Amino acid sequence: MENRAKIEVGVVGITGYTGMELVRLLRHHPYFDLVQVTSRQEAGRALQEIYPFLAGTNVGLLPITMPDPELMARDCKLVFLAVPHGTAMNLAAEFLNVGVKVVDLSADFRLKDKDVYTTWYNVEHTQEEYLNEAAYGLPEIYASEITQARLVANPGCYPTSAILALYPALKEDIIDIDQIIIDSKSGTSGAGRSAKLGTIFCEVYDNFRAYNLGKHRHTPEIEQELSFACGKDIQVLFSTHLLPINRGILSTIYAPLKKDISLAKIISLYKDFYKGKNWIRVLPPGVLPETRYVRGTMFCDLGLVKDERTGRLVIVSAIDNLCRGASGQAIANANLMFGLDVNAGLDRGALVP
């Protein structure tokens, strides 16, 4: 490991699942030192009091404080904002104004059009000047922009699974952009840690259901990035479902092929596009992704099928919503922002069984 001074970082909003995952990953990071954690509800307690799995570690002894950008700026070079949309935008501006880099895990800087943001999130954007500055934090696509950024908008979990699955096909112009269907299923941690009737054990166990059909807030984010991929405005049919599992997203995507192209050629196209991108695993013909093989990792597994009868390309994408779809990806972005290897601290095997 390279001998260099550690970079001090903080987490604002430590009590949710993304905050918990950030702690799990940062604890063993070779170059980042977690020195500040905040929560308005849990301020005054030690971190190990709310996360007993940290007992007996130095991280577990960290005091939870109230978020204060000026005080955190004394100790932190970067902060991860793991707070709700609408709250993150003003906090991000405060941190940027005192010279602290920001990776925002909320939706506040993902959409470039403030009116689109207001329509889908029912919140007026108060920091419009940062929308164009924020880099969209998908390392396989925007690494050069992330490297230069002081503010990164960490992608949503569903968009990560869908964009990585569709990007090569759109860049190579092999699918009809007017008939894309994205059918996604997520584990319950994607709904957050707050108590909600629809995500308690007895409502989720031994059940499977759709939700927010036609109105999921990740829709405009997916459409924005896919439109950037092909240079044309895209609308997609995006449907979401809740799986009775803790972690993981499986997206099955359907799009008509524009020309007769073999499956072998499509797989080759995908492998060429993601060459050198170690977290994208394009699976061999006949092998389809499963959530258990990406659990707790940064991998995005892609399975490709050509439906000869209908002339459609079927893409199956599997990611871990908390790691690849949130906290792990946030750390990858922070790595790039400080000129580190994007893989630093994230080389982990799947949590199986």
Comparing CA positions, the residue from 347, 334, 279, 343 lying closest to residue 32 is 334
| Backbone phi, psi, residue 113, to 5° | -100, 115
CA distance 147 to 208: 40
Q: What is the dihedral of CA 315, 320, 321, 322, to 10 degrees?
A: -160
**How many CB atoms sit inside 10 A of residue 57's CB?**
14
Please, which residues have CB within 8 angstroms of residue 344's CB and are 6 or more apart in sequence?
A: 29, 30, 31, 335
Return the sign of the alpha-carbon dihedral for residues 330, 333, 337, 339. Answer: positive
Burial of 261 (0-12, 13-18, 19+ CB in 10 A): middle
Task: Please compute Rg for the chain using Cα positions.
Answer: 20
**Would residue 230 show up in a list of annotated catalytic residues for this protein?**
no
Contact call for residues 305 and 332 (beta carbons, < 8 A) = no
What phi, psi does 282 have (nearest 5°)?
Answer: -85, 115
Contact assessment for residue 87 and residue 93, using Cβ atoms and an 8 Å cutoff: no
Catalytically annotated residue among 76, 157, 300, 323: 157
Q: List b or e across 112-122, with b for residues whose CB sees 16 or more CB atoms inside 10 angstroms.
A: eeeeebeebbe
- CA–CA dist 304, 284 (Å, integer): 8
Pairing status of strand 181-186 against strand 237-242: parallel
Are the C-beta atoms of residues 203 and 243 closer than 8 Å to each other? no
Which residue shows structure tokens 């992608």?
155
Query: Active-site residue numbers?
Result: 157
